[in-house]
Amino acid sequence: MSAAPSAARVAAIRVVKVLQRAGHQALFAGGCVRDQLLGRDAKDFDVATSAHPDEVLSLFPRATAVGRSFGVILVHSEEHSTEVATFRAEADYEDGRRPGSVHFTDAQTDAGRRDFTINALFLDPVTDQLFDFVEGQSDLHHRLIRTVGDPHARFAEDHLRMLRAVRFAAALDFSVHPDTADAIQAHASSIRRISAERIQQELTRLLTESSRPGSGLRLLHETGLLVHLLPEVAAMVGQAQPAEFHPEGDVFTHTCMMLDAMQHPTPTLAYAVLLHDVGKPPTAAATREPDGSTRIRFNGHARVGADMAREILQRLRMPKRHIEAISHCVENHMRFMEVQKMRPATLRRLTGNLTFPVELELHRLDCLCSHGDISNHEFLVDYLAHREDEPRLPPNWVTGHDIMALGVPEGPEVGEWMARAYEAQLDGHHADRAALLAWLRGEVAGRRSE
């Protein structure tokens, strides 16, 4: 038995029927048609129609015009809001992103102004009749991303389409048609004219929605886009690593493997994976080992990488909370090598951090896609299992007032003593608050007598 149609589909079909009863052509358009033909669940259902914006508004009094000059109306219902766009042609692209003028037309002409053939299909959901004016079905069958018409013209009109081509290829596990790929290479530098916010949105979707985001990253490199979008990541291509720890190859290969190994990643995990080793190329150095051999080392690459990640993400206009979480994961990813030797307090702090679940998964992927030793990951999983009923981090037994009651004057020294007391508490050296205060009283007295 097939699944019940989604609320979005039901609402969109209702809109189509109203438009058709009023004598207008109304069809599902774009991604929802593509996804239906691929057997994928569509999230949004866009409607394209011969009705002009004013006619749509007259039929749907609750509708709102979100792009009236472009013929786009949002029709609201209790279940969902459906985007309805009048068939149109576009011209006079001047900024490499938006058309300077539009005029209303028919379905075939509308198909001709769309980006890729697989996104230029129309479907009548009432009769199930498919309208394919650009051989989109053939490209779906052959799993190809191909522009509608001349690829050079399509990318000159809207530079973001180049990045979208790579995203669709990665998300659908398709190939890019050779002519389309050649045109991307020819126009790659134009991607710099697109706003950072739009680039970040596409990159985030590529990294989090693709079946193989690592393949998408490789395609960004092969098409020449990566060096313009993320030159720091492009620098990882060809950066050699010690074979005993990284038999998989260079830093870029390692990163792509990790991206492909992710399962349902959040943006924080995806960017942490992408940037965890971004500090390796600038810190790479050949060192002479005690046995006389030469080895590549990346001293301080985690700290350098965290600073670079912060700069990259700020450039991409990522939200501040994501920037801080991702850069923290990058800076701390090498600490996992020492978890089995950590003091109890240090380990408790590490596992109590809000980003720890992301850090733990980053570590697992890092190991699986290099030397394969996940013993530290297993140690941490076991450690957490034995503490699952405990709070992430326990409340501090000692307050600032307690410290000052021991004779420490108000000021920075109070914070120093509180930190020391909490460290001792986490280390488990004292059974309770009273024992901790007794130890602390002796420590403060000893400091005062020095």
Q: For residue range 180-212, what is the model confidence (pLDDT) as tens digits?
A: 999 999 999 999 999 999 999 999 999 999 989
For the stretch 138-186, pLDDT in tens is 999 999 999 999 999 999 999 999 999 999 999 999 999 999 999 999 9
User: Which of the residue ranges 80-94, 96-110, 271-285, 368-382 would you say has the lowest mean pLDDT?
Assistant: 96-110
Cα separation, 179 vs 120, whole angstroms: 18
User: Which of the residue ranges 88-97, 209-218, 253-262 would you say has the lowest mean pLDDT?
Assistant: 88-97
User: CA 149, 151, 154, 156 torsion: positive or negative?
Assistant: negative
Q: Kindly list the structural domains of the chain, giving each domain's residue range(s) and its CATH number in brackets, ordered by start.
A: 1-138 (3.30.460.10), 143-229 (1.10.110.30), 239-385 (1.10.3210), 400-449 (no CATH)
DSSP per-residue codes, 50-97: SS-HHHHHHH-TT-EEEEGGGTEEEEE-SS-EEEEEE-EEEE---SSS
**Percent of the residues in the chain that have a pLDDT greater than 90, as a whole number:** 67
pLDDT bracket for residue 1 (50, 70, 90)? very low
For the stretch 15-43, pLDDT in tens is 999 999 999 999 999 999 999 999 998 88
- Classified as helix, coil or strand, 378 is helix
Whether residue 369 contacts residue 261, with contact meaning beta carbons closer than 8 Å, is answered with: yes
Question: What is the number of other CB atoms lying within 10 angstroms of the CB of residue 130?
Answer: 16
Give the residue from 110, 226, 116, 224 showing the smallest Cα distance to 169.
116
Residue 258: both structure tokens together: 């990790």
What value does the mean pLDDT take over residues 381-403?
Answer: 77
State how beta strands 101-104 and 88-91 pair.
antiparallel
pLDDT bracket for residue 287 (50, 70, 90)? confident
Question: What is the number of other CB atoms lying within 10 angstroms of the CB of residue 266?
Answer: 16
pLDDT exceeds 70 at position 449 = no
What's the number of CA atoms in the CB half-sphere (13 Å) around residue 34? 21
pLDDT bracket for residue 358 (50, 70, 90)? very high
**Percent of the residues in the chain that have a pLDDT greater than 70, as a whole number:** 93
Give the residue from 308, 369, 359 showing the smallest Cα distance to 334.
359
User: CA 273, 275, 278, 280 torsion: positive or negative?
Assistant: negative
Q: Which pLDDT does position 83 carry in this prediction?
A: 93
pLDDT exceeds 70 at position 390 = no
What value does the mean pLDDT take over residues 403-412?
Answer: 80
Residue 49: φ, ψ to 5°: -145, 160
pLDDT bracket for residue 448 (50, 70, 90)? low
For the stretch 334-351, pLDDT in tens is 999 999 999 888 888 888
pLDDT bracket for residue 396 (50, 70, 90)? confident
Q: What 8-state DSSP symbol labels residue 395?
A: P
User: Which of the residue ranges 277-286, 289-298, 368-377 would you say has the lowest mean pLDDT?
Assistant: 289-298
For the stretch 75-109, pLDDT in tens is 998 778 999 999 998 766 665 556 655 788 999 99
What value does the mean pLDDT take over residues 302-327?
Answer: 95
Residue 252: both structure tokens together: 């870029």
Q: What is the mean pLDDT of the chain?
A: 89
For the stretch 57-79, pLDDT in tens is 999 988 998 876 778 999 998 77
pLDDT bracket for residue 423 (50, 70, 90)? confident
pLDDT exceeds 50 at position 412 = yes
